[in-house]
């Protein structure tokens, strides 16, 4: 429906990207603008799906279950990314669902439980510690739950890369926003958007980045 006049939209007003362009970003009846984030989410989703397909096609052997797992993980990450960006909340139902689905997929794919357990304890424990020390001022309960989910999905040691990328990208983008005057130091950052992005990158390219880093050290 249109968020302004609440009119139910026809199917042809709901075609990703195309409808937005044809309607020129405005509701057909009340002429109010369609919120900009719709087109970004639609284009972003297309890009994410292309990256997942590209990753699967480039793998030494094509495992359909890995492709479907990555598509489902990506959909959940997009929901987490957008919802936290717009409303500063990581939805518990999405994260618990993600943790369960991820556990199921990874067991089905024959991954061992120990790396998942270590990943879960490292990420969840690290976030929980910060949550406990700051009494919820640095991080929210949603971030702690998200840490558990990320640990199950990525396992040890890829979880370390995801944590590293979350903090580095958060720091760089935070500094840029402060430098351009868009945010102040005290503004809270929707950490879930960074966690979701870092999880996506680590999911697709974690192994490559970690082996590159190991070679770099030697
Ligand atoms: Zn309208």
Ligand 1 centroid to residue 190 C-alpha, Å:
29
Q: Is the pLDDT of residue 200 over 90?
A: yes
Ligand 1 center from residue 33 Cα (angstroms): 8
Question: What mean pLDDT is predicted for residues 73-96?
Answer: 94
- Whole-model pTM: value is 0.89
Radius of gyration for the chain, computed over Cα atoms and rounded to the nearest angstrom: 19
Instruction: Output the CA 38–ligand 1 centroid distance in Å.
Output: 15
pLDDT bucket at 185, cuts 50 / 70 / 90:
low
How many Cα atoms occupy the beta-carbon half-sphere of 152 within 13 Å? 20
* CA 23 to ligand 1 centroid distance, Å: 11
**Percentages helix, strand, coil for the chain, rounded to the nearest 5?**
70, 0, 30
Look up residue 190 and give its DSSP letter: -
Residue 8 CA to ligand 1 center (angstroms) comes to 9
């Amino acid at each position: 429906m249109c968020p302004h006049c609440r009119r139910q939209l026809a199917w042809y007003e709901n075609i990703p990207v195309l409808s937005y362009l044809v309607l020129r970003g405005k509701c057909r009846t009340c002429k109010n603008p369609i919120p900009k984030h719709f087109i970004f989410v639609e284009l972003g989703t297309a890009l994410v799906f292309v990256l997942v397909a590209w990753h699967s096609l480039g793998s030494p052997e094509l495992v359909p279950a890995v492709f479907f797992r990555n598509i489902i993980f990506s959909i959940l990450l997009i929901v987490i990314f957008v919802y936290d960006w717009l409303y500063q909340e990581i939805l518990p139902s999405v994260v618990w669902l993600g943790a369960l689905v991820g556990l199921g997929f990874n067991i089905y794919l024959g991954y061992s439980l120990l790396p998942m357990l270590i990943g879960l304890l490292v990420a969840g424990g690290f976030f929980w510690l910060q949550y406990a020390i700051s009494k919820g001022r640095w991080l929210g309960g949603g971030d702690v739950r998200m840490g558990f989910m990320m640990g199950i999905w990525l396992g040890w040691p890829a979880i370390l890369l995801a944590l590293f990328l979350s903090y580095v990208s958060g720091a760089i983008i935070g500094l840029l926003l402060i430098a351009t005057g868009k945010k102040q130091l005290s503004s809270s950052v929707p950490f879930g958007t960074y966690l979701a992005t870092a999880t996506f990158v680590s999911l697709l390219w974690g192994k490559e980045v970690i082996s590159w880093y190991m070679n770099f050290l030697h």
